[in-house]
A and B are shown apart, each in its own frame.
Chain A
Amino acid sequence: MIAANHLTYRYGTITALRDISFQAAPGEMIGLIGPNGSGKSTLLSCLAGLRVNFSGRITIGEKDISGYNSQALARVISVVFQDNYFPFDFTAYEIVAMGRSPFLKALQDETAYDQKIIEEAMRQSDCWQLKDRPITELSGGERQRVILSRALAQQPKVLLMDEPTNHLDLKHQRLILDTARKLSCQGGVLVIAVLHDLNLAASFCDRIILLHQGALAADDRPNEVLSESVLKSVYETDIDIVLHPRTKRPQILI
């Protein structure tokens, strides 16, 4: 579905990504981890088509990413951003409905079909009951559910998420990642999520890509990537690893 080949990205004199290659297939749920400044968000925005002056190659489906215009790309990939800012008081429903715009003409209203997709997207991330509330008055967890619904309303084949669980409580962390997981398992959507919380990455993802100083340090199943030796060298701090009593996935203790 997505392939990166020798992807390198430079800002001025800084090399943010160096020679990254990987392939990802439909239905995978991939956690993108790494220390601060390791290039996770940069990689995500390259894959999303938001940064174009990289060297190397990104293919989406069969085609090179440069062969898509922004509307065509938005019909394949949707993005949940880390920072979201709402200067005007659109309702939650109106925000989610914006996810349909890559499928609509300039002044066209949402059709009954679009409305059904919007409702379904809002029910999937449990925010249909918020539909008439202004986005400016929602709590952080409620907002994040609306933002995820907006991305779902695009009916993406690839869902990219940049720290979607930031500042969320346990219930909402689980809700957001469960929804994404369901989407990848049942809907065949490729999900790539930047996660700071390694334990969440270990619990929800089947594959983890670890970045270190802009380069790919590891790309494997959680139990392989999240080992003491790998993490100690990349994160430069002491940690302990235990296995989750129920799922047997690695959990990291500081």
Chain B
Amino acid sequence: MRSRHLAWLSPLALLLAVLAGLSLGPGGFGWYVSPEIASIRLPRVLLGALVGMGLAVSGAALQAVLGNALAEPYLLGVSGGAACGTALALILGLSAGLPGAFTLQLFSFFFGVAAIFLVYRLARVHGRLPSETMILSGVVVNAFFSGLIMLLMSLAGRQLQDMIYILMGNLGILFTRDTVFLLAMTSVLVAAGSVYLWIQSKNLNLLTLGEAQAQSMGVPVERLKKTVFFIIALMVAALVSLAGVIGFIGLMVPHLGRMLSGPDNKRLLPVSGLLGASLLILSDTLARSFGNFEIPVGVVTALLGVPFFIFLLWRKKSQKI
């Protein structure tokens, strides 16, 4: 299956996803049922678009840098750090505390940033950043923070339900002065990061052939790798602090993107961004469409992701025969 000229489907997908996200859900059908309903749905659609786009673009870029289609942004260990920050803030009761309603998100973001530096210090070998040690330290740091999260969960008591909801992915926000500020800051970060990665798309293509190969074709490999890792890590820290750990988008969407546009990152990154936004908006719409019961959106993306990978595996097997 090699169709490289279907990139135009991705903006269409986003349009449909936004319409679906605004029109569906408990509270009635229609893209503007009432001001109350719109004020619930619109922020979710916006946050879904932001998080979905950021994760998908990060995933596609990381897969290029590591030359591995199984890489995903949570590999860098940052998500564990940010999630642990969220859990700790919940236990300490910071969510309702002073000075602003976004203390929880800030706490989570700073834990994510701390995790970046931890991974970087562990991974560095003589000033270089070999991909293998980067992945290994990411895995170790993630494991460490997962352990801490479990510890916090076992101490959580009545807050356990809240904690699970936030950590497994939650796009439920309402517009307040604080959340609008947070959304704006994160949008700037994700937009700047995505544009940087897109500008580097040719170098990312070369990196898929290997680091020595890319270097021999003029790519300043060490500098580029460090910058790309750092930018992806910052984006992931910000996104996890806002929406929890939503899995599979960063892994699955770049594969979908390659089916539509081919592997050239100049097309793949924008297409992945649009598809990631669409997929997360749709997943969230699905997550809140079961009457008065809301499923964490991370559960939906995982349930969608697994059949998708079984399909990929099946296709790969049938090609080999």
Give the B-binding residues of A (Cβ under 8 A).
Answer: 45, 48-50, 69-75, 77-79, 81, 83-90, 94-95, 98-99, 101-102, 104, 106-107, 134, 154
B218 engages A102 (CB within 8 Å)? yes
B212 engages A45 (CB within 8 Å)? yes
Kindly state whether residue B201 has any CB partner on chain A within 8 Å.
yes
A134–B217 Cα distance when bound, in Å, is 21
Given known contacts A83-B210, A98-B206, A107-B198, what 6 new A-B pairs fall within 8 Å (CB)?
A50-B215, A70-B215, A88-B69, A99-B217, A104-B202, A134-B2
A71–B219 Cα distance when bound, in Å, is 7
B202 engages A101 (CB within 8 Å)? yes
A73–B216 Cα distance when bound, in Å, is 8
Nearest CB of chain A from residue B192's CB, rounded to whole Å: 16
CB within 8 A of A88: which of B198, B208, B216? B208
Give the A-binding residues of B (Cβ under 8 A).
Answer: 2, 67-69, 198-203, 205-206, 208-210, 212-213, 215-221, 258, 262-264, 266
- 6 A-B pairs closest in CB distance: A74-B218, A102-B218, A88-B263, A71-B218, A79-B216, A87-B67
Known: A90-B263, A106-B199, A134-B2. A98 touches B218 (CB 8 A): no
CB within 8 A of A85: which of B203, B209, B216, B219? B209
Nearest CB of chain A from residue B188's CB, rounded to whole Å: 21
A85–B131 Cα distance when bound, in Å, is 16
Nearest CB of chain A from residue B315's CB, rounded to whole Å: 13
Residues of B within 8 A of A71 (CB): 218, 220
Nearest CB of chain A from residue B26's CB, rounded to whole Å: 42
A89–B205 Cα distance when bound, in Å, is 11
Tell me which of B200, B208, B210, B263 has the highest count of chain A C-beta atoms within 10 A of its own C-beta. Answer: B263
CB within 8 A of B216: which of A50, A90, A104? A50
Residues of A within 8 A of B215 (CB): 49-50, 70
Known: A81-B213, A134-B2. A87 touches B208 (CB 8 A): yes
Residues of B within 8 A of A134 (CB): 2
Tell me which of B201, B202, B208, B264 has the highest count of chain A C-beta atoms within 10 A of its own C-beta. Answer: B202
Known: A87-B67, A90-B263, A107-B199. A48 touches B213 (CB 8 A): no
Residues of B within 8 A of A88 (CB): 69, 208, 258, 263
A89 engages B69 (CB within 8 Å)? no
B206 engages A87 (CB within 8 Å)? no
A77–B216 Cα distance when bound, in Å, is 8
Residues of B within 8 A of A101 (CB): 202-203, 206, 217-219
Residues of B within 8 A of A70 (CB): 215, 218-221
Closest Cβ neighbor of A132 among chain B residues: B2
